[in-house]
Amino acid sequence: MKRREFVISSALGAIALKAGHLALPGVNPLAAMTPESAAPAVTRKILIAGGGFNTAFIKYMAQLTGKTRPKILYLPTASADRPGNFMKNCEGLDVEPSIQNSFISSYRQDKSWEEVLLSVDAIVASGGNTLNQQVIWKAHGIDVILKKAWDQGIVLGGASAGSLCWFEEGTTDSRPKELSVVQCLGLLKGSHSPHYDREVNRRPLYLKLIGSGEMKPGYACHNDAGIYFEDNEVKRVVHSRADAKVFYVSREGDQAVEKLLQPELIS
DSSP letter for 46, please. E
Q: Could you tell me how many helices (H) and strands (E) the chain has, helices first?
A: 8, 14
Question: For the chain, where are the E strands, in sequence order?
Answer: 45-49, 71-75, 96-99, 122-125, 155-159, 167-172, 180-183, 188-193, 218-221, 225-230, 233-239, 246-252, 255-261, 264-265
Residues of the chain with CATH 3.40.50.880: 43-265
In this structure, of 33-42, 44-53, 247-256, the range with the lowest mean pLDDT score is 33-42
Asked whether the beta carbons of 257 and 250 are under 8 A apart, the reply is yes
Of residues 147 and 2, more confidence is placed in 147
Q: Where do the H-state alpha helices sit in 66-179?
A: 86-90, 113-117, 130-140, 142-151, 161-164
Q: Could you count the other beta carbons within 10 Å of the beta carbon of residue 156? A: 26
Task: List the 246-252 sheet strands across, edge first.
Answer: 180-183, 167-172, 188-193, 218-221, 246-252, 255-261
CATH code of the domain made up of 43-265 = 3.40.50.880
**CA 199, CA 172: separation in Å to the nearest integer?**
11
- The C-alpha angle with vertex 13 and arms to 11 and 19, in degrees rounded to 5, equals 110
Query: CA torsion angle for 108, 111, 116, 117 (degrees, to 10)?
Result: 100
Q: What is the pLDDT of residue 41?
A: 87
The pLDDT confidence band at residue 264, using thresholds 50, 70 and 90, is very high
Q: Which residues are catalytic?
A: 160, 195
Please tell me the distance from the alpha carbon of residue 170 to that of residue 209, in angstroms, as a whole number: 10
This prediction's pTM: 0.85
34 pLDDT above the threshold of 70 = no
At 180-216, the pLDDT tens digits run 999 999 999 999 999 999 999 999 999 999 999 999 9
